[in-house]
Amino acid sequence: MSEADVEEIKAGLRDEFGGQGWLIVYSSKGRWWAFRGPLTRETFNATGDVEADCPEELRARLREIMAR
């Protein structure tokens, strides 16, 4: 996967989830991550990070979390 591909995928994920406070990261180990925070007192028990093998898996996990 090229750097341009990664940036395009990250932009799509940010468009979909960035408004809900998620930061999208692709690691040098080939893993996809989403982080949000700082969590407030009201959201302290909410999920703050998600890890996935591929962007599709990350998208599915984020959608599941946001549907709760």
One digit per residue, the tens of pLDDT, for the chain of length 68 reads: 899 999 999 999 999 998 888 999 999 999 999 999 888 888 888 899 999 999 999 999 999 999 98
Q: What are phi and psi of 4, to 5 degrees?
A: -65, -40
pLDDT at 7: 97
Structure token digits, residue 12: 């799509």
* pTM check: above 0.85: yes
pLDDT at 18: 87
Residue whose C-alpha is closest to residue 10's, from 32, 30, 29: 32
CA-only gyration radius of the chain, Å: 12
Residue whose C-alpha is closest to residue 14's, from 27, 28, 33: 33
pLDDT at 28: 93
